[in-house]
């Protein structure tokens, strides 16, 4: 049976791959150097939607992964950001935080990568929607297995949904889970961790895969302005993965996350999981979700146009080829389904813009200066050193009730004043108030995109949209989180059983279309809150 598969029977194994911060243009920019068995195989042997975009405004990791298999945006699923402030307690909450679900399996004597102000447990408790995996479990019970594996906790947990049999992610070099799924790690996971594969990469060198001249022709010089070479990574090749230290510690694990070794070990773990869990050999479909995060860590440090990014994408291409080859052997070629996409893109480094397009406005945000200016604009002559009008939260601000009461300003008036102060600054394109977003008044395309990212209980009182090419990061590196094409445009590749071949580049599609399309292929009901359309029905 060929790669197009058969439409009559759903696949026994479906693999959904999300590459964190993977822009759609990488597939064309780096295509001449792809291997035959990775991205090129998925593109030529399956179906590519070349104009796939996120339609919500705040393109972040947790909201993106929550959308991929639920088909709903943050206004419904509630995952408004990676971290947000709880309006009742004024405490910062991690998207997948759950103190009632402690982490299981962390190796002893490893430095915790999690800031101490977050509760240590993890689960999908904050997720307010159902996923395709949840529907599979409702329909087939134990005959269907749902596993989700990623470098990041939020990627694994949110793609897997509330009913996943297991979710695994990496913390300080070990694959862990939580008591939401297990009381203890399965023996095969503990055995994998015991091999110390991450620690064996300490001191390894990351060399370029191709000749340096190839990268220079595409990405420019290796040592480029605006890059962040922290954790001993430096801004040029080769790179030694040691965190800049003589022994293994937190800096090493941070450097490891940026290196191709993070993706290599993730693939090794995925292969071990497929074998140990006997995926694809049950009476109903098994779902395997995979989240690659190295590209995101690297893009934040070096940007999308760097030599580092090009080499990382080429190496990931080879890893995908390895994974697909393994699946061929495990399931038989054409007997499984693959969906590949991303949670968001990333902005170019402002320093690159200064060199390549100096006439286009760009810049970096200086938050201390911005907040001081906003406070001054709101306070006027009544400014007080200990008076704070707002607390910044993600892409917006919560007004401080005590300050509003002290200056005798209503919440609605305070929202309006803060919106006006934001719109008067050059860094911001627009701002919207809670009152506006909760009204039924049309707010135009930009405002409607913000509405999709806005949740009444969890979002701030005033939210903003940055101007294009302004990066919310000081000094170096890049970021994402805007409604612009460099953040919203991501790949969408379908390959395998039940998938027609070809490129559908003429029609823009939304990420909310993945869940209903996949549900149709797996012959289960779509997630009940999903808002998208089945892509293949529209193409036929």
3-state SS class at 65: helix
Paired residues of 13 in beta bridges:
286, 336
Q: Which of 9-23, 444-458, 502-516 has the lowest mean pLDDT?
A: 502-516
pLDDT averaged over the chain?
Answer: 93
Tens digits of per-residue pLDDT, 12-24? 999 999 999 999 9
Give the residue from 327, 339, 342 showing the smallest Cα distance to 498.
339
Q: What is the 3-state secondary structure (H, E, C) of 208-276?
A: CCCCHHHHHHHHCCCCCCCCCCCCCCCCCCCEEECCCCCCCCHHHHHHHHHCHHHHHHHHHHHHHHHHH
Is the Cα torsion angle 278, 281, 285, 289 positive or negative in sign? positive
The answer, as to whether pTM is greater than 0.85, is: yes
Q: What percent of the chain has pLDDT over 70?
A: 94
Q: How high is the pLDDT of residue 116?
A: 44
Q: Are strands 146-150 and 286-292 parallel, antiparallel or unpaired?
A: parallel
Q: What is the 3-state secondary structure (H, E, C) of 389-433?
A: CEEEECCEEEECHHHHHHHCCCHHHHHHHHHHHHHCCCCEEEEEE
Residue 60 burial (C-beta neighbours within 10 Å; 0-12, 13-18, 19+): buried
- Structure tokens given for 337: 């389904």
Q: How high is the pLDDT of residue 111?
A: 56
Any idea which residue has 């061929």 for tokens?
A: 328
3-state SS class at 359: coil
Residue 8 burial (C-beta neighbours within 10 Å; 0-12, 13-18, 19+): exposed
- Structure tokens given for 453: 């990212």
Residue 8 has pLDDT above 90, yes or no: no
Q: How high is the pLDDT of residue 368?
A: 93
Residue 457 has pLDDT above 90, yes or no: yes
What dihedral do alpha carbons 210, 211, 212, 216 form, nearest 10°? -80
Tens digits of per-residue pLDDT, 297-310? 999 999 999 999 99
Query: Measured between alpha carbons, how far is 297 from 27 in angstroms, rounded to an integer?
Result: 19
- Structure tokens given for 104: 């299981």
Q: Which domains does the chain have, with CATH numbers?
A: 13-352+484-539 (3.40.720.10), 366-426+428-466 (3.30.1360.150)
Query: Measured between alpha carbons, how far is 184 from 512 in angstroms, rounded to an integer?
Result: 35
Residue 189 has pLDDT above 50, yes or no: yes
**199 DSSP assignment:** G
Residue 5 has pLDDT above 50, yes or no: no
Tens digits of per-residue pLDDT, 108-153? 445 555 444 455 799 999 999 999 999 999 999 999 999 999 999 9
Paired residues of 496 in beta bridges:
337
Q: Which of 31-45, 208-222, 278-292, 368-382 has the lowest mean pLDDT?
A: 368-382
How many other C-beta atoms lie within 10 A of the C-beta of residue 508? 12
Query: Measured between alpha carbons, how far is 120 from 104 in angstroms, rounded to an integer?
Result: 10
Task: List C-alpha distances in Å: 331 to 15, 153, 268, 450, 486.
Answer: 12, 28, 17, 42, 36
């Amino acid at each position: 049976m060929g790669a197009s598969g058969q439409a009559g029977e759903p696949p026994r194994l479906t693999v959904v791959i999300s590459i964190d911060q993977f822009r759609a243009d990488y597939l064309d920019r780096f295509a001449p150097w792809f291997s035959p068995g990775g991205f090129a195989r998925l593109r030529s042997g399956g179906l590519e939607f070349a104009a796939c975009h996120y339609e919500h405004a705040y393109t972040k990791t947790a909201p993106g992964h929550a959308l991929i298999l639920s088909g709903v945006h943050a206004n419904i699923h509630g995952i408004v950001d990676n971290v947000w402030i709880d309006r009742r307690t004024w405490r910062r909450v991690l998207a997948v935080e759950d103190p009632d679900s402690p982490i299981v399996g962390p190796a002893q004597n490893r430095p915790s990568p999690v800031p101490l102000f977050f509760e240590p447990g993890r689960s999908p408790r904050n997720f307010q929607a159902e996923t395709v995996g949840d529907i599979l479990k409702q329909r087939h019970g134990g005959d269907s297995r749902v596993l989700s594996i990623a470098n990041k906790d939020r990627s694994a947990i949110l793609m897997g949904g509330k009913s996943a049999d297991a979710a695994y992610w990496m913390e300080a070099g070990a694959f862990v889970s939580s008591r939401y799924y297990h009381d203890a790690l399965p023996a095969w996971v503990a055995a994998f961790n015991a091999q110390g594969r991450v620690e064996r990469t300490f001191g390894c060198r990351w060399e370029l895969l191709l000749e340096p001249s190839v990268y220079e022709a595409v990405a420019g010089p290796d040592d480029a302005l605006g890059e962040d070479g922290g954790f001993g990574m430096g801004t040029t090749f080769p790179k030694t993965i040691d965190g800049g230290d003589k022994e293994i510690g937190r800096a090493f694990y941070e450097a490891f996350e940026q290196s191709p070794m993070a993706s290599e070990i993730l693939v090794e773990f995925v292969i071990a999981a497929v074998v140990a869990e006997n995926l694809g050999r049950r009476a109903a479909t098994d779902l395997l979700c995979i989240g690659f995060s190295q590209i995101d860590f690297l893009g934040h440090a070096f940007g999308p146009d760097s030599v580092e990014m090009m080499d990382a994408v080429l190496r990931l291409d080879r890893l995908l080829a390895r994974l697909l080859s393994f699946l061929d052997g495990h399931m038989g070629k054409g007997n499984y389904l693959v969906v590949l996409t991303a949670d968001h893109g990333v902005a170019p480094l402002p320093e690159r813009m200064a060199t390549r397009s100096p006439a286009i406005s760009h810049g970096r945000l200086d938050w201390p200066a911005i907040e001081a200016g906003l406070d001054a604009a709101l306070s006027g002559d009544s400014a007080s050193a200990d008076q704070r009008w707002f607390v910044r939260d993600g892409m917006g601000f919560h007004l401080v009730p005590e300050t509003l009461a002290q200056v005798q300003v209503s919440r609605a008036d305070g929202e309006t004043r803060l919106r006006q102060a934001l719109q008067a600054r050059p860094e911001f394109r627009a701002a919207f108030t809670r009152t506006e977003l909760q009204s039924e008044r049309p707010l135009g395309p930009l405002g409607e995109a913000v509405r999709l990212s806005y949740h009444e209980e969890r979002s701030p009182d005033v939210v903003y949209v940055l101007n294009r090419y302004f990066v919310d990061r000081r000094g170096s590196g890049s970021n994402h989180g805007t409604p612009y094409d460099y953040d919203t445009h991501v790949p969408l590749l379908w390959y395998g059983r039940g998938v027609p071949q070809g490129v559908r580049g003429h029609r823009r599609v939304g990420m909310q279309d993945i869940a209903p399309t996949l549900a149709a292929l797996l012959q289960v009901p779509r997630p009940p809150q999903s808002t998208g359309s089945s892509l293949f029905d529209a193409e036929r």
